[in-house]
Amino acid sequence: MSSIIELKNICKSFGDTEVLHNIDLSIREGEVVVVIGPSGSGKSTLIRCINCLEMISSGELTVDGIRIPEERGRTRQIRLEVGMVFQQFNLFPHMTALENVAFGPCKARKMNKSKASDIARDLLKKVGLAEFENKLPGQLSGGQQQRVAIARALAVSPKVLLFDEPTSALDPEMIGEVLDVMKSIAKDSGMTMVVVTHEMGFAAQVGDRLIFMDDGRIVEEGKPGEVMKNPESERLKDFLGHVKHH
């Protein structure tokens, strides 16, 4: 199967500090990749490079056939195909849940309002929030907000979804509801997903591949079950020990 995301020798620097060093990574269509690693290892930067929220400093990135940096003018096209879910939800505070979800199809996909609202309603139902469509983000719990945010990202029918620690800002009792939604997306729609998370249960259940990053490099990767059971590097052993004891 062809790869939908291809990173070749990617480096990313902020000022003089290089935070990603020569990353090579290729992700197949429909694959669920889970990225783990200690704080500051470059996980967020890596996935933000994929939808060009950060511009790579060198190397070559190909997303759905669009090549960066050559086709830098087409980053918007990439973003239409690559949705993102953030740790802090980032829902538009002046729009209701329904408006948040309908916004993308309406503005980015130029759909008419009623069709966009239909899509949004369907998605809100799918994430279990049908009866909350007229609530503003401020009136929803963290878990509910994150589910709206997932519906919003899905609404423009992207080919890839990026998740940056989607459950890290949630109270423990809300983590499950968000992970359930993510699992059903992975299983039902065959969506390509890149998920930064420390939820090892999620990684084991739905991940096709686990990537361990440290200090701006991919240190280890493989089938989640195997990597977790037999970590090769000391750093990953260490890291898994920390995550488990949480």
Ligand X SMILES: Nc1ncnc2c1ncn2[C@@H]1O[C@H](COP(=O)(O)OP(=O)(O)OP(=O)(O)O)[C@@H](O)[C@H]1O
Separation between Cα atoms, residue 36 and residue 223, nearest integer Å: 13
Residue 189 interacts with other proteins (CB under 8 A)?
no
Q: Are 177 and 129 contacting, i.e. CB atoms less than 8 angstroms apart?
A: no
Q: How far is the CB of 44 from Mg ion (least distance, A)?
A: 3
Q: How far is the CB of 227 from Mg ion (least distance, A)?
A: 20
Closer Cβ to other proteins, 156 or 236, answer by number: 156
| Beta pairing partners, 164 | 196
Residue 156 interacts with other proteins (CB under 8 A)?
yes
Q: How far is CA 222 from CA 69, 86, 145, 214, in A?
A: 29, 25, 32, 15
Q: Which two tokens stand for residue 195?
A: 């998920």
For 172, counting Cβ atoms within 10 Å of its Cβ (0-12 exposed, 13-18 middle, 19+ buried), the class is exposed
Q: Residues 6, 7, 25, 44: which binds ligand X (CB under 6 A)? A: 44
Q: Report what 39 binds from ligand X, other proteins, Mg ion, none; CB cut-off 5-8 Å by kind.
A: ligand X
Q: How far is the CB of 186 from other proteins (least distance, A)?
A: 19
Residue 126 interacts with ligand X (CB under 6 A)?
no
Q: Which of 22, 27, 3, 1 is nearest to 12 (CA)?
A: 22
Contacts with ligand X by CB under 6 A lie at 14, 19, 37, 39-45
Contacts with other proteins by CB under 8 A lie at 51, 53, 72, 76-77, 79-84, 86, 88, 90-94, 103-104, 107-108, 136-138, 149, 152-153, 156
